[in-house]
Amino acid sequence: MTATRTTYTRLLPALILALVLFSCKHDNMEYGVDFSQLPTNGLSFVPYHEQDCDLNSTPLASLPSRRDASSIDGVALLRGMTEGLTASSVHQVSGTYRSTDSYGNPVTLSGAVYYPQDRTLKGIIVSSHYTVGADFEVPSNTCFMDAWLATKGYALVMPDYMGYGASADSVHPYMQADLTAHHILDMALAVRTFFAARNISILNPDIILVGYSQGAHASVHAMRMLEDPQQYPEYADSRLHISKCCVGGGPYYVSSFFLRCVNNNYIGIPCSVPMLLLGMNVGQTGDDMFDPAFYFAPRLLENYHDWILSKRYTVDQLNNIIGTGRLDRILTNDACNLSHPETARFYRTLLTHDVPAGFVPKAPMLIFHSTGDDVVPVSNAFRLQQQLETNRAADVTCDIGDYGVHGIAYARFLLKLYQQLP
């Protein structure tokens, strides 16, 4: 078994690298989209740093959660992707764009655009990243594995999210559905001026939405926002359309996720608890805010400014600092009691950030999840699948199988997307 795994580990990166190099040979492209003629809502992506995205010049974002040493094929998969990315010399541009905060005030946000050096590209992928803790981990400050998708001839757009990058001094609105989706779509609009200025022609102006973990939750809500112009009129005239939405490992029902953690007295990513509570406070004022003194156990209450708000620590580092997945050691007894009025109020707030029961996607959707996910229960995917498939108008494909733990499944999710891209 060991010899077989060793051989497999050595061969898989080479196979993936060969696949990447072969796939970078694009068909002849003659016609592209003139982005200078498309509306941008007054937004513009302004570059401030750029470089080739490879292992020699750019730190590479790590897997989104614990690595499973027994999943050697998953680790080899990841290694092959990095080698393919290095060989393809994907260009990375970090920049800022304008959006609005919870109160409608202007805010400067940031993100990264990745693209191969070709001047005519196939399309645009808007990729929303998984949960990070440290500011240096976000797309504008590092190179994300998702950039591998750009090697097939696509422009890849990755927002940092509010609370990171250019807006690192603010609190990240963790799992706030509409606000995060709004910021994602504003970057998708803003990059149009960037592509036009660089004379980068893109054959298909429709976007492919991609997201894993937290990014899956955000992508679904971005899809919902863009496909419902009556409820979200700010995007009605944007001519921003979705060709497909591909999501994996997502906590689509935040309220159920919290309820499960309370009932099991356990959470796979301990740092997500304080991040969730602090994130839900963004946009709240006065008595509507959730008081950390009520929710956080003494040790967390004393240190959350440094641990969470400083953006100095990765998710793995935060989980090690917190030191336990037991909820009753992270939160107070009252905060673990859903019958308490204050905890019940927090739960009701989380309900507003779940995928709404009436949501029916107009564009095709892929739902990917691993049955072995140790962070986000696979029940999230089953529930979303059941909800969407009750409506025959929804074009939904589900790929739910044993793909390893949360982090390893991320690599397999990217591989599936890569194989499906034309």
Q: How many domains, the chain? A: 2
The confidence score (pLDDT) of residue 43 equals 73
71 and 147 in a common domain = yes
- The answer on pLDDT for 218 being more than 80 is yes
Instruction: Supply the CATH number for residue 380's domain.
Output: 3.40.50.1820
Domain boundary, last residue among 327, 351, 375:
351
Domain boundary, last residue among 291, 319, 351:
351
Average pLDDT over residues 89-112: 92
199 and 76 in a common domain = yes
17 and 117 in a common domain = yes
- The answer on pLDDT for 72 being more than 80 is no
100 and 222 in a common domain = yes
261 and 248 in a common domain = no
Q: Which of 21-30, 145-154, 269-278, 331-340 has the lowest mean pLDDT?
A: 21-30
123 and 248 in a common domain = yes
- The answer on pLDDT for 12 being more than 50 is no
345 and 218 in a common domain = no
Average pLDDT over residues 301-325: 96
Q: What is the pLDDT of residues 291-307, one digit of tens each?
A: 999 999 999 999 999 99
The confidence score (pLDDT) of residue 410 equals 92
313 and 230 in a common domain = no
400 and 324 in a common domain = no
306 and 226 in a common domain = no
Domain boundary, last residue among 331, 351, 371:
351
292 and 412 in a common domain = no
Two tokens, residue 133:
């803790």
109 and 88 in a common domain = yes
- The answer on pLDDT for 310 being more than 50 is yes
**Structural domain range at position 282:** 254-351
Two tokens, residue 320:
């090690």
Would you call 308 helix, strand, or coil by DSSP? helix
Where does 247-393 have alpha helices with state H?
254-264, 272-280, 292-295, 298-304, 315-322, 327-330, 341-351, 379-389
